[in-house]
Amino acid sequence: MKIFVCIKQVPGVSEVKIDPKTNTLVREGIPSITNPYDKNAIELALSIKEELGAEIAAISMGPPQAEEVLREALAMGVDRAFLLTDKAFAGADTLATSYTLSLAIKKILKELKKDEKYIVICGSQAIDGDTGQVGPELAEELDIPQITYVQKFQIKGDKVIVERIFRTEEVVVIETNFPVLISVLSEINIPRNPTMSGIVDAYQKKEIHYLDAERLKADKAKIGLDGSMTQVWKIFIPERKGEHIILTGTIEEMVQNLCENLKEDKIL
Amino acid sequence: MSIRVDRDLCTGCGSCVEICLYNGVAMINDIAQITDDCNLCGACVDVCPVEAIVIEREELKAEKMDLTQYRGVWIIAEHFKNKIHNVVFQLLGKGRELADALKVNLSLVILGANFDDNLKEFSQYGADEIIYIKSSILKDYYSDLYVKTLTELIIEHKPEIILIGATPMGRDFAPRVAKRVNAGLTADCTGLTIDIESRNLLQTRPTFGGNIMATIKTPTSRPQMATVRPGIFKPLKKSKRKVIIKKIDYDYNQKDSVSKIVKIINREKKKINLEEAEIIITGGRGVGSKENFKLIEQLADCLNAEVGGSRVAVELNWIEQDHQVGQTGKTVSPKLYIACGISGAIQHIVGMQGSEIIVAINKDPKAPILKLAHYGIVGDLQKVIPELIKKIKKIRTEKEI
Q: What is the pLDDT of residue A22?
A: 53
Omega into B49 within 30° of 0, i.e. cis? no
Architecture of the domain whose range is B274-400: 3-Layer(aba) Sandwich (3.40)
Q: Is residue A32 part of a domain?
A: yes
For residue A215, the domain's CATH number is 3.40.50.620
The mean of the pLDDT values for chain A is 89
Q: Is residue A31 part of a domain?
A: yes
Cite the beta strand spans of B116-181 per DSSP E: 129-134, 161-165
Q: CA dihedral defined by B334, B338, B344, B347, rounded to 10 degrees?
A: -30
Q: Which of A109-123, B185-199, B342-356, B364-378 is least confident?
A: B342-356
Query: What average pLDDT does this structure show over A31-42?
Result: 92
B166 Cα distance to chain centroid: 6
Give the integer Cα–Cα distance in Å for B314 and A7. 28
Q: Is residue A255 part of a domain?
A: no
Confirm if B10 and B52 have CB atoms less than 8 A apart: yes
CB contact under 8 A, A238 and B174: no
Q: Which of A60, A78, A81, A83 is nearest to A8 (CA)?
A: A60
Q: B2-56 and B67-254 share one CATH topology?
A: no
Q: What is the pLDDT of residue B208?
A: 67
For B153, how many CA atoms within 13 A lie in the half-sphere containing its CB? 27
Q: What is the pLDDT of residue B61?
A: 44
Architecture of the domain whose range is B2-56: 2-Layer Sandwich (3.30)
Per-domain residue ranges for chain B? 2-56, 67-254, 274-400
Q: Kindly state the DSSP code that residue B194 receives in the 8-state scheme.
A: E
The mean of the pLDDT values for chain B is 90
Measured CA angle at B125 (ends B121, B129), to 5 deg: 85
Give the model confidence (pLDDT) of A177-186 as tens digits. Answer: 999 999 999 8
ipTM exceeds 0.85, yes or no: yes
Q: Is residue A245 part of a domain?
A: no
Cα–Cα separations (whole angstroms), residue A225 to A10, A46, B6, B45, B180: 19, 34, 21, 15, 19
Confirm if A79 and A56 have CB atoms less than 8 A apart: yes
Give the integer Cα–Cα distance in Å for A219 and A139. 19
CB contact under 8 A, B172 and A149: yes
Confirm if B363 and A236 have CB atoms less than 8 A apart: no
Q: Is residue A231 part of a domain?
A: no
Q: Is residue B50's pLDDT more than 80? A: yes
Superfamily of domain B67-254 in the CATH hierarchy: HUPs (3.40.50.620)
A158 touches chain B (CB under 8 A): no
What is the dihedral sign for C-alpha B312, B315, B319, B321? positive
Query: A96 is in which domain, residue-wise?
Result: 2-222
Name the helix (H) or strand (E) containing B122: helix B119-122
With contacts defined as CB-CB under 8 Å, which chain A residues touch B223? none
Q: What is the pLDDT of residue B270?
A: 59
Q: What confidence category does residue A26 fall into, taking pLDDT thresholds of 50, 70 and 90?
A: low
Name the domain count of chain A: 1
A16 touches chain B (CB under 8 A): yes
**Residue in B37, B57, B380 closest to A225 by CB:** B57
Q: Which of A8-12, A241-245, B165-169, B212-216 is least confident?
A: A241-245
CB contact under 8 A, B216 and A230: yes
Q: Is residue A15's pLDDT more than 50? A: no
Give the integer Cα–Cα distance in Å for A186 and A163. 13
Q: Is residue A236 part of a domain?
A: no
Q: What residues have CB less than 8 Å from B397, skipping those under 6 apart? A: none
